[in-house]
Amino acid sequence: MHYVSTRGGAAPRSFTDILLAGLAPDGGLYVPQVMPRFSAAELAHLRTLTYPQLAFEIVSRFAPEWDREDLRGCIERAYRASVFGEAAITPVRTLEPGLHLLRLSNGPTLAFKDVAMQLLGELFESLLKARGEGLNILGATSGDTGSAAEYAMRGKQGVQVFMLSPHGRMSPFQAAQMYSLQDPNIHNIAIRGVFDDCQDIVKAIGADAAFKAQHQIGTVNSINWARVAAQAVYYFSGWFATTTSNDQAVSFVVPSGNFGNVYAGWIAHQMGMPVRRFIVATNENDVLDEFFRTGRYRVRASAEVSQTSSPSMDISKSSNFERYIYDLVGADAGRLSALWSELDRSGQFDIAGTDLWQAVVRSRFVSVRTDHAGRLACIRAARDRYGVVIDPHTANAMAGAWRLREPGEPMLVLETALPAKFAETIEEALGEAPPRPAGFEHLEAAPQRVTVLDADADGVRRYIAAHTEPVATGMASVGAVQTAAARRQSAQFLVAKPGASQ
C-alpha cells in the first residue's frame, strides 16, 4: 500500500510517511495507489462487528505497515463509549420509515470532526513516540476544526497545539469550549483581527521553512488521509445499521464544505459499500452545488465568501474535491494536473458535455443548496415533524433530503454538529435555546486560558519559540528528542509483525 500524488510528481510513500505530511511536494494530494476492496464474504463479516472492530478492519487496510496491536490500541482508545456517549459511537436515529439521522456529533466538541480527530490524536502520539520526535501543530480556526484538534491532542505526549482564533468573534460557546482547556500542551492564541488574519499568519509561518523545521511545525487539515480513512468507517456503520443485507443500497445526504466528509463516503463506496446516491448539501457558498448542477467548478475569491449561519461550510474552494476528480479521470495524473493548472490560471474549469461529466453522472453525486431562510424553516419543521432539534449545518442536508428523496429511497442524513453550538440561530428558528448535552451546562463559567496577541506573524513566532525547544539544541522537552536509539526503535515499530500486512 503506497500513496502517490494526484499530480503525479511525488515518490510513492507509506501511510506513516504521509501521516504527518500535508500536501505532496508537487502541490497535489496523496491518494492510495490501489484502493483496497472488501469481498462479499468480508463485507458479511464487517456487518457483525462493533464500531472499533470495524474501524480497525478499515483503517488497517490503509496502514498495513502499522503494528496491528498498536493500531488496535489506538482505535480502542479513540472510540470509547465514555468519549462518544455510547458504544455505537455514531448511532442512527430513524426519523420516519426510510429516513435516518446518522449522528456523528456526540464526541467531545459536539461536531463530526471529532470522529476523525480523536483517532488522529492517538496515531500521532504513537508514531511520534516511536520516532522519538515532537510535533507542534499550528492552525487557525473559526470554530469546529480547532476545538476538535485541541480535544484530540490534549495531554498527548510529543504534541503541542498552537491554535489561532479571532479575538471576540466566535460564539461564547465555541470560545469557552477551546479556552477552558487547561492542558499545558494546548495554546489558545486569540488574534486581534478576523479569521482571515489568523489564516494569513499560519500561511506566513508555513512559508518560513527554516522556522518550521526548527520548531517542528505541522498541521491537521482536512486533506490528511487518516482523517478520510477514519470517516469512511461511519458510512459503513450507518449502512449496516439501516439495512439487513449487503445488496441493499442507501443514499447519503452530506453537509459539505471542504468535501472531506462526503469524499470519505465515496471511499467507502470504492471499498465495496453499495450506494444509491450521494447528495452534496451546500449553503449559500455553493461552489460544489454549481459544479454538480452545471459541470463548472469555479473557486471563489475570499471576498466572495459569505458569512452564513452554517459557518463551517463557508468555503471558497473544496480541498478534497481534487481527489474525487482524480478518481473520475481514472488516476490520470496528467489530465488532473491540466485541470488544476487551468484552475490556477483562470479560477475555474468546465467539464460540461465531456466524458468526465458522464463519469460525474455515473458516480451518482447530486447536490442541493439551502439558504438562511431555508435552514430556519427546516429546523422548525424537523422539530415539529420528528421532535428533534438539528443544527444549521445538518439543516442544509435535511432540507435537501426532503426536496430530493424519491419514493422508497432509503436515506441517511449526516448530522455534523449538535445545535447547542449554534444557539443564536436555533433561537431565531425556534424562539428558544437549544438543548445542552449533559456536562456542558456551565461551560461558559469555567476558567479560561488564552493569550491575546496582535495580528502579526512575528509576535506569534516569538510566542511559539518561547514555548518550544528548537530541534537544533536537542534539548529534551515536548519539542523534540531525536536520538539514534529513538530512530532504531522507530524502524522496529514500523516493521509489521509477520503475516500482518495485506
Contact predicate 376/425, CB 8 Å = yes
Spot the catalytic one: 113, 156, 317, 421: 113
Minimum Å gap between C-beta 231 and ligand PLP is 8
- Give the residue, chosen from 142, 224, 416, 425, that forms a contact with ligand PLP under the rule CB under 6 A: 416
Between CA 413 and CA 214 the distance in angstroms is: 44
Between CA 371 and CA 400 the distance in angstroms is: 11
- Grid cell, residue 381, equals 419543521
Residues 155-214 that bind ligand PLP (CB under 6 A): none
Beta strands per DSSP E along 223-381: 250-255, 275-282, 296-298, 348-350, 365-369
258 binds ligand PLP (CB under 6 A): yes
Minimum Å gap between C-beta 395 and ligand PLP is 10
Minimum Å gap between C-beta 341 and ligand PLP is 24
Other C-beta atoms closer than 10 Å to the C-beta of 346 total 10
257 binds ligand PLP (CB under 6 A): yes
Q: Where are the alpha helices (DSSP H) in 15-90?
A: 15-19, 40-46, 51-62, 68-78, 81-84
Other C-beta atoms closer than 10 Å to the C-beta of 235 total 29
Between CA 436 and CA 464 the distance in angstroms is: 35
261 binds ligand PLP (CB under 6 A): yes
Nearer to ligand PLP, 142 or 214 (CB): 142
241 binds ligand PLP (CB under 6 A): no
Minimum Å gap between C-beta 230 and ligand PLP is 12
Q: What is the largest CA-CA distance in the chain?
A: 66
- Give the residue, chosen from 70, 144, 284, 286, that forms a contact with ligand PLP under the rule CB under 6 A: 144
- Give the residue, chosen from 52, 255, 265, 400, that forms a contact with ligand PLP under the rule CB under 6 A: 255
- Give the residue, chosen from 162, 173, 195, 259, that forms a contact with ligand PLP under the rule CB under 6 A: 259
- Give the residue, chosen from 178, 186, 217, 313, that forms a contact with ligand PLP under the rule CB under 6 A: 313
109 binds ligand PLP (CB under 6 A): no
Q: Which residues contact 454 (CB under 8 A, 6 or more apart)?
A: 191, 192
Beta bridge partners of 413: 101, 253
393 binds ligand PLP (CB under 6 A): yes
139 binds ligand PLP (CB under 6 A): no
Q: Look-up: residue for cell 469555567? A: 446
Active site residue 497: no
Nearer to ligand PLP, 10 or 161 (CB): 161
Contacting positions for ligand PLP (CB under 6 A):
111, 113, 144, 222, 255-261, 312-313, 393, 416-417
